[in-house]
Copies of this chain bind each other. A is one copy, B any other.
Amino acid sequence: MTKKKVSDELLTRISEKLYVAVVCDTLDKLGVRENVLRYDIRPLYPEARIVGRAHTALSVDVYEIPEEPYKLEMEAVDTLKPGDCLVVTTNGSTKTSFWGELLSTAAQARGAVGAIVDGFTRDTKAIMEMRFPVFVRGISPYDSKGRSEVMDIDCPIRCGDVLVHPGDIMFADYDGAVCIPQDLAEEVVRLAEEKVSGENTVREELAQGIPVKEVFAKYGIL
């Protein structure tokens, strides 16, 4: 896997200058119109924000405690690199939580920048207090032991209906989470930075009460 393809410098530019909505507009312009994770994947707290490289895991509900519980789940966390974002699909499970405080602690200790789980978490308040950004579909106090197992890591997954490949850039803020294909990353960031400055002008004119129609005709931005 070529997960290092996207430079730290690019991640920093995204983090400092961009927000998810403007990146989506830019992806739209490039014809990538369906890379936003489903709307029910939400951050635990409004300030949660992730910019990182996707490190993926595929989890599935099970119905008995396996011989080696947590085996690949632990490996998923232990193999996180600085700048990684763990991205997990649980295939829609509502029967357990996948994530929790101890795994957040371990992930944070390895330099991971967040977790996006198409499933549930627990230890929610502790994670919020750690300020470790976690995006999930819901909350449940159940432990995953005997309820779900990770069956593969570092593989393509669908998380929130979006196909995520290891090494793609995950960018998430309070508006949602988007997957930026690594090949497009440079171009997306450059174009998005341009759009941001245009929006500032538009905002000022709209605040003065100039009709939207007129402002849009002038700048082509809405």
Contact among B63, B109, B152, B207 with A157 in the assembled complex (CB-CB below 8 Å)? B63
Interface SS majority for chain A: mixed
Contact status A102-B206, CB under 8 Å: yes
Q: How large is the interface on A (under 10, 10 to 19, 20 to 34, 35 or more residues)?
A: 35 or more
Contact status A24-B143, CB under 8 Å: yes
What mask results when residues 53 to 93 of chain A are scored 1 for a CB within 8 Å of chain B, else 0?
00000101111100000100011011000000000010111
Is residue A193 contacting chain B, with contact meaning CB distance below 8 A?
Answer: no
Docked complex: A14-63 residues within 8 A CB-CB of B: 20-21, 23-25, 28, 33, 36, 39-40, 42, 46, 58, 60-63
Q: Among the interface residues A20, A40, A42, A212, which one has the most CB atoms of the partner chain B within 10 A?
A: A212
Q: What distance in Å separates the Cβ of A8 from its nearest Cβ neighbour in chain B?
A: 20
Docked complex: A169-200 residues within 8 A CB-CB of B: 173-176, 178, 199
Contact status A125-B91, CB under 8 Å: no
Given A20-B141, A141-B20: A63 in contact with B174 (beta carbons within 8 A): no
Contact status B28-A175, CB under 8 Å: no
Q: What distance in Å separates the Cβ of A132 from its nearest Cβ neighbour in chain B?
A: 11
Instruction: List the B side residues contacting A39 at CB < 8 Å.
Output: 94, 120, 138-140
Contact among B58, B145, B146, B175 with A124 in the assembled complex (CB-CB below 8 Å)? B175
Q: What distance in Å separates the Cβ of A99 from its nearest Cβ neighbour in chain B?
A: 11
Contact status B62-A143, CB under 8 Å: no
A173 to B123, CA, bound (A): 10
Instruction: List the B side residues contacting A93 at CB < 8 Å.
Output: 91
Given A174-B124, A175-B124: A163 in contact with B63 (beta carbons within 8 A): yes
Contact among B42, B110, B213 with A75 in the assembled complex (CB-CB below 8 Å)? B213
